Amino acid sequence: MNTSWEEMEQSQPVVTKMVTNSIVKNRISHAYICFGDYGTPKREFAILLAKSIFCKQRIGVEPCQSCTDCKRIDSGNHPDIHVIIPDGASIKTDQIAHLKKEFNYTGLESNKKVYIIEQADQMTVNAANRLLKFLEEPSQQTTAILLTENSQSIIPTIRSRCQLLAFQPLNQEQLENKLKDAGITEANARILATFSQNFDEAIERSKDTWFAQARKLVVQLVELLQNNKDEVPIFVHTQWMPHFKERKQLQEGLDLLLVLFRDMVHFQIDAKASIVFSHQLDKIEQATMNWSMEDITNDLTLIMEAKRKLEQNVHPQLVIEQLTLQI
């Protein structure tokens, strides 16, 4: 991961300007909340900022990307950077307690420390309150970077102690064109750009047989819902659930389903240029003969509700079975 501030500025000019000015003036905030849609480069930003803090061979604001500090940050092995991710469905109190304990020790190689909390909106109430106490005693040498798609789910007392950085949605057209330049077909470039955070991830997805199969299963499910609904329960049991084994994978399957139903809307209103599954145009046309605009709108709401149920830890197979019965 060798993203530079120059590259970051192309997709996030406002955030980049704010933070690079702080780096130049040596006024980096003690805490940031980076918020924006799925796909925005929040994690890349956090890693880049950490490099700018620790790199001893920085050129202006740009980390050198080749020193020991930069390389260890890339590999996730820097002793003074701590990353917290949800333990199961949430970030728990003991994870924040462990973080505070680690930070009581002097930095191993300097007094600087950085901690990154991914999906910060998934903190339990107790974990959030414990983090709040931590933030109320800021150290000049400590930088907290909280990443979230939903900043409103972070308690107001934490938000008020952090600098808020709003990440703009990615420019999908630029990513599509870059993928086409790399030899990806137009149809695949459209889908990959819809479901990827950046060029490197999109290229990885283009080689991912799991993602290719996921797309096929979504199209098959819609065909069965349209033509042979009696076979849907068997399909869910024998093909859908074995492929989408984890909640994250299942969320991605529902995201693909959302996009396919939105494509039906775009077809209905004659906005074919916005269709993502452009290589399935004939099947989308057939589906729109089966579903009215009202049906499609209702089904989009049902899919969103299924995604929320998954986040609330409802049993995955039950969520999909209920959804396919309701569509």
The residue among 263, 275, 261, 272 whose CA lies nearest residue 304 is 261
pLDDT of amino acid 220:
97
Spatial separation of the C-alpha atoms in residues 26 and 159, rounded to whole Å = 22
Lowest mean pLDDT among 11-15, 35-39, 222-226, 263-267: 35-39
For residue 246, report the phi and psi dihedrals to the nearest 5 degrees.
-100, 155
Predicted confidence at residue 1, as pLDDT, reads 57
Mean pLDDT, rounded, for 281-309: 94
Cβ-proximal residues to 32 (8 Å cutoff; 6+ apart), any chain: 49, 143, 144, 145, 146, 162, 163, 164, 165
- Residue 239 predicted with pLDDT over 90: yes
State how far the Cα of 289 lies from the Cα of 299, in Å rounded to an integer: 15
Return the pLDDT at 140.
Answer: 67
pLDDT given for residue 2 in this prediction? 63
Ranges in the chain annotated CATH 1.20.272: 208-326
The residues of the chain that CATH labels 3.40.50.300 are: 5-166
Closest CA to 218 of 198, 193, 186, 195: 195
* Cβ within 8 Å of residue 207, ≥6 positions away: none
pLDDT computed for residue 132 by the predictor: 93
Instruction: Determine the pLDDT at residue 109.
Output: 63
**Mean pLDDT calculated for residue range 69-78:** 94
Which tens digits make up the pLDDT trace of 298-327?
999 999 999 999 988 899 999 999 999 999
Question: Number of H helices and number of E strands within the chain?
Answer: 17, 5
Residues 147-175: what's their mean pLDDT? 90
pLDDT at 59 over 70: yes
Cα–Cα dist 141/139, whole Å = 5
The mean pLDDT of the chain is 92
Which pLDDT tens digit goes with each residue over 189-222? 999 999 887 787 899 999 999 999 999 999 999 9
* Class at the top of the CATH hierarchy for domain 5-166: alpha beta
State the DSSP code for 114: E
Cα→Cα distances 309→153, 181, 223, 301, Å? 17, 39, 24, 12
User: Which pLDDT value is given to residue 251?
Assistant: 95
Q: Is the pLDDT of residue 277 over 60?
A: yes
Topology classification of domain 208-326? Zinc Finger, Delta Prime; domain 3 (1.20.272)
Residues 151-165 have a mean pLDDT of 94
156, pLDDT greater than 90: yes
With CA atoms as reference, report the closest residue to 264 among 239, 290, 296: 296
> Considering the chain, what percentage of its residues have pLDDT values greater than 70?
96
Could you report the per-residue pLDDT of 102-145, keeping only the tens digit for each?
Answer: 777 655 567 889 999 999 999 999 999 999 988 887 676 889 99
